[in-house]
Structure 1
Amino acid sequence: MHNPTKETETPGCTPFIPEAREVLSLVDQCPQQVQKGKFPVIVIEGLDATGKTTVTRSISEELGAVLLRSPPSRIGQWRKIFDEEPSIIRRAFYSLGNYIVASEIAERSAISPVIVDRYWHSTATYAIATEVSGGLQHLPPAHDPVYQWPQDLLRPDLVVLLTVSPEERMQRLQGRGLEMTREEAELEANSIFRQKVEASYLRMENPACCVVDASPSREEVLQTVAHLIHTTCY
């Protein structure tokens, strides 16, 4: 799962998916080793409808931070295409997207704080939940290497995981009326899959996720996240 390489996971699909060649070209343009700048990098994680958009926008404004997303805008227009592909190709797309956005994080964090809407933890948790059949008991045990941050990927200073109850999340999703990705649809149709994603988030290490209950009011959640950032990164 770690460090998906261009040689092993994607070239075979380039004749069939022209966009894959474009993704690989962007990866090739990224520096092999990138270093985080002097300003903090904060990642906001969570399932859809947990408030990520609200939190990332508000916190980035409060901190005067750059807001980035994974997959980054340079490949975001191809997301729907890769979401329809088999799991290994879909995973390669999201994994390589993390390495592309890492180069953006390195550049931007030299001049201002950076807020990232999803990053490696999302890629890893969905991959684990997809590849592991059966229930929670079949997940790799805590501290398994699969839960470790890749050594060659720029590491954030803080990862905030927003959570709400399944019932409240469903209400929020229904209220939004937005089209869901294949995996988000799977979350709704398969509670076991959702539980595996959530459990995998909690087992991530180096860095681990700092869990924030996103059920209270918008102001309370923002205050909690802001306090966490200031105590951890400043």
Structure 2
Amino acid sequence: MVNYGLDLSAVERERALPDLVAEGDELDALVSAETDWSRPTPAAGWTIAHQIAHLAAAEVEAAGSEHADLDAAAGAAKPRSVLLEQWRTGRAEVAAELRDVPLHQEFPWYGARLTAELMVPLRLMETWAHGQDVFDTLGVPHRPTGRLRHVASLGVVGRELSFHAAQLPPPAEPFRVELTGPDGQTWAWGPEDAKQHVRGSALDLCLRVTHRRSLAETDLTAVGEDAQKWLDIARVFL
């Protein structure tokens, strides 16, 4: 099972679930107003319809599929109204399921197994990241919100995942990560005296760990060789 190091209590889940629902609703409002779902997005070979089909397939399976491209292509071939309704129904069903299941119940996730406590922020992360592709396609500003904290947390505590995926040994030293949230507040992880530091905007870290922006396109800075390497290879998915 992938270890993100998160410990989501029942109270925290109650806070996170409304954010998951809100993230889906925001993207829904955007794509519902767009009639041409055939427009290509930044993901090579994927249109807006592919992006929504991918999210709809993951919702239906409550976990995602190892055959994302095939699932997206199959879904994108459906009529827009059918695909939109499928996605809406799936979102509601998954939110209800994640609200009621035990936090440590396991789900399959792209070849791995994750607990329900991880599924809430992961579903939000996927919705936000694929939504970013759609916002970019339509040239609409994607206003950052406090919901990004869930995505940023996944990126920070999933640091070892980045090194594992790059086939590198995980750093032995702790990291200090300080991010500026959308409202100007500071979000921080790790000991203040850590030699490895990462600083920048929360939005830019989220864009980086979801591979929506290159490091050069962000304001992120690092002190320490391991911290710099992490920003080079950062990711929040397998």
How does the TM-score come out when normalised to structure 2? 0.29
Q: Which has the higher contact order (CA 8 A, sep 6+)?
A: 1
